[in-house]
Amino acid sequence: GIAISHRGLTADTTPLGTLSGQAELPASAQGREGWVACRLPDGTLVTTAPLSADGSFSIAVPHGEYELVVHVRDHAASTPLLLNVDATPTDPQTLEVPASIIVDLEVRDADGEGLIPARVTFIRQGDTPSPKAPADTDPRLGSWGGTISAVGYATGGTAQVALPPGTYQVTASRGF
C-alpha cells in the first residue's frame, strides 16, 4: 500500500514549455565555465542551466514571459533576450557572448631588470562591463565586490587575466 505520508501528495500539472538555444562563444571563452540565467521580467531568478560543451542549452519552464542571459566566466554577459513561452514550441534562440581580451602581465623591479611576484588588480572605469555574473546566478560566486574586475597573481612575475574590453585602473602591489 501507499504510506500515510504520501497519500496527500498531488502531481504538479503546471504546463511547461522549453527554452532552448545556442550561445555563440568567442575564442576567449573556450574552456571557461558558462551558463544561461532565466529570469522573470521583474528580475526574479527562475533557474540557471549550464551550457553544453558546444554552447547549447535547454530549460523547461512554466508558460510565461522570461528573460535569458548567457554568462561566461571572465566575460561580459550576452544581451538579454525576452521570450514568451506557451504551448507552441519556441524556435531555438542564439545569444552572443562578447569576446574578452587576454592580458599578459609582466611585473619587473624598479630597474626593469628582474621579474618580481606581485598582485595586479583591475578596476573597471565608466561604462566598462563587468566580467562577473550577478551573485544569485554565479555557481562559484565572485570573490571581489564593487568594480574590481580581475586580480592577477604574478607569483613568478608573470600572469594572465581575461577581461571585457574597456577602461581600467590597474594597480600592481607586492604581496598577496
Residue 86 pLDDT: 82
pLDDT of residue 143: 47
Degrees, nearest 5: CA angle 44-45-49? 160
Which range, of 60-69, 88-97, 152-161, averages the lowest pLDDT?
88-97
Cell numbers 621579474 label which residue? 115
Instruction: Please report the pLDDT score of residue 7 as a whole number.
Output: 58
The confidence band for 71, taking pLDDT boundaries of 50, 70 and 90, is very high
pLDDT band at 174 (very low <50, low <70, confident <90, very high): confident
| Helix, strand, coil abundance in the chain, percent, nearest 5 | 5, 45, 50
Instruction: Over range 3-8, report the average pLDDT.
Output: 58
> Which residues, other chains included, contact 138 with Cβ-Cβ below 8 Å and sequence gap of 6+?
71, 132
Cell (9 digits) for 173: 602591489
Got the DSSP string for 12-71? ----EEEEEEEEE--GGGTTS-EEEEEE-TTS-EEEEEEPPTTSEEEEEEESEEEEEEEE
Which range is least confidently modeled, 25-34, 73-82, 88-97, 103-112?
Answer: 88-97
In this predicted structure, which of 120-129, 148-157, 158-167 has the lowest mean pLDDT?
A: 148-157
Instruction: Answer whether 0.85 is exceeded by the pTM.
Output: no
Asked if the model's pLDDT at residue 11 lies above 80, the reply is no
Average pLDDT of the residues of the chain: 85
Residue 173 has pLDDT above 80, yes or no: yes
Residue 135 has pLDDT above 90, yes or no: no
Query: CA-to-CA distance for 27 and 124, rounded, in angstroms?
Result: 22
Quick check: 130 pLDDT over 70?
yes
Q: How many percent of the chain have pLDDT more than 70?
A: 87
Q: How confident is the model over 92-125, as pLDDT tens digits?
A: 889 999 999 999 999 888 888 888 899 999 999 9
The three three-digit cell numbers of residue 123, written as one number: 578596476
